[in-house]
Amino acid sequence: MNTPLNSFRNQPDERGHFGEFGGRYVAETLMPLVLDLEREYRKAQADPAFQAEFDDLLEHYVGRPSPLYFAPRLTEELGGAQVWFKRDELNHTGAHKINNCIGQILLAIRMGKTRIIAETGAGQHGVATATVCARFGLPCVIYMGAEDVKRQSPNVFRMKLLGAEVVPVTSGGATLKDAMNEGLRDWVANVHDTFYIIGTAAGPHPYPEMVRNFQSVIGKEARAQMLERTGRLPDLLVAAIGGGSNALGLFHPFLDDPSVKMLGVEAAGHGLDGDEHAASLLGGSPGVLHGNRTYLLQDADGQITEGHSISAGLDYPGIGPEHAWLKESGRVDYTAVTDEEALDAFQLLCATEGIIPALEPSHAIAAVKKVAPTMPKDAIILANLCGRGDKDIFTVAERLGVEL
C-alpha cells in the first residue's frame, strides 16, 4: 500500500518519535545496542530472505493465516451490527504474541546473539518466547513478577517445559513493570551476547515500530479476508489494549482507510474513578518509562503507580507510544471496560459462539457488546480475538465463586 504524505501509517520519524511520544530513553550502556538493533532491523526489512523465512514460519509453525469468523449468534444476541472476529487465539501458543516472537528471534539469530531474555506478565509472551527459543535452540531467561508467578502457575510450568529459566522478580510491586525493569538490568549487564525480546509495542525505538510491523500480519490478513468475504471494509475495528500490540497489529493496515473507525479498549479494572485500573490513556498522563515517552499511570511527582486489571496481560502502567499518538491525533477512539464487564463478555462469548476467549480480548468483546446495538444491521464490526482463555479459567472460576 502507498503511504501518502498525510498518512497515519508513516510513523515514527527517523528518531523513533510518534509526534511527541516514543523515542529512546535508555541508559548510555544500552544506546549503542539500540542503535545497532535499528540498523540490523532495517537491513532485515530490506532482505527478501528474512521476510520469506518469517512468512514461512508463520504459515507452517504458527498456523497463519488465522481465520476471519462471522459470529452469527453473538450478532443476533446483540441485535445490531454484524460481529466478526479475527481468530488469533487459534495461533500456536494461543495468542497473537507468537507473531512478534518469530520476527524478533529471527532478528536475534541474524545479529549473532546467543541468549534470549524477555519479560512477561500473564505469561503469554513468556510462553511464546520460550517456544521460539526451543524451536531455535537458544537459551532463554524469562523475568516474571513474583506475584504473577503465583497467579499464573500453569504458564510458569509451560515455560519450564519449553526449557526456559523463569526468574521471579521480587523488586518493586513484583508485577510486569518490575519484570521489565529486571529485563533491562539483565540486558545492560549482558549486552555482548543477549537479545531482549520485548513483548509489546513499547520500549525504546525501534521496538514499538518493529513489534507493530511484525504484528501487522493480523490486520493485513484481516483486510484481505474481509474484502474477499464481503467485498467491503469493516466499519469499526475493536481491540483490547495493554501495551497495545494486538490492537496496532489489527489497526495499522487500516489507518489510511478513512471509512474504518477504530476503538481501543483499555482495562478499567474496578472503575476509572478510583486508582484500581490499568487505563493509561484514559486515566493517565504523558511521561517517560521503559525507554519511551508515552501515557503512564503516575502520581503528581512522576512516580509510577501500579495498574490493576482482572487480566494480568493488561495490568501494565504504560502503553505503546503509537497509541498515545493515535489518541492525540484523533484517528483512534479509546474506551475502557471494567473487570465485571469483561467477565460478562467472557461468558457471553462462551455461551453464544462456543469460544472461550482470554480475559484480554474479553475487554474488546465487552466494548463490542455496548456498541453493536447502536449500529445498523448492515454495519460490520471486526474485533481481534487475540488470545484464548485456557490460561484464565482459574481466575474466572475464582471470580464466579466456583472451586475447581
Partner 1 sequence: MSRFAAAFGKTAPALVCFITAGDGDTAANLDALVEAGADVIELGMPFTDPMADGPAIQSANLRSLGAGTTTADVLRYATEFRARHPNVPLVLMGYANPMVRRGPEWFAEAAAAAGVDGVICVDIPPEEDDALGPALRARGIAPIRLATPTTDAARLPQVLEGSEGFLYYVSVAGITGKQQAQIESIEANVARIKQSTDIPVAVGFGVRTPEQASAIAKVADGVVVGSALVEICGEYGAEAPAKLKELTSALAHAVHTARQEHVA
- CA pair distance 197, 118, nearest whole angstrom: 5
CB of 46 to partner 1, least distance (A): 23
**In the block, residue with C-alpha cell 511464546:** 128
* Closer residue to partner 1, CB minimum distance, 97 or 177: 177
* Closer residue to partner 1, CB minimum distance, 2 or 303: 303
CA dist list (Å): 33 to 113, 158, 269, 277, 364: 12, 30, 37, 34, 36
* Closer residue to partner 1, CB minimum distance, 213 or 292: 292
Note whether 202 and 294 are within 8 A (CB).
yes
CB of 73 to partner 1, least distance (A): 45
CB of 14 to partner 1, least distance (A): 11
CB of 29 to partner 1, least distance (A): 4
Phi, psi of 290 (to 5 degrees): 50, 40
Q: How far is the first Cα of the chain from the last one, in angstroms, to the nearest whole number?
A: 50
- CA pair distance 309, 57, nearest whole angstrom: 33
| Residues engaged in binding partner 1 (CB under 8 A) | 15, 23-33, 171-172, 177-178, 180-181, 184-185, 188-189, 191-192, 287-291, 293, 296, 298, 300-305
* Closer residue to partner 1, CB minimum distance, 253 or 291: 291
Q: Which of 185, 187, 184, 182 is nearest to 166 (CA)?
A: 182
* Closer residue to partner 1, CB minimum distance, 31 or 227: 31
CB of 141 to partner 1, least distance (A): 16
Which residues, including other chains, have CB under 8 Å from residue 281's CB and lie 6 or more apart? 241, 264, 266, 295, 319, 323, 324, 327, 334
* Closer residue to partner 1, CB minimum distance, 16 or 126: 16
CB of 283 to partner 1, least distance (A): 16
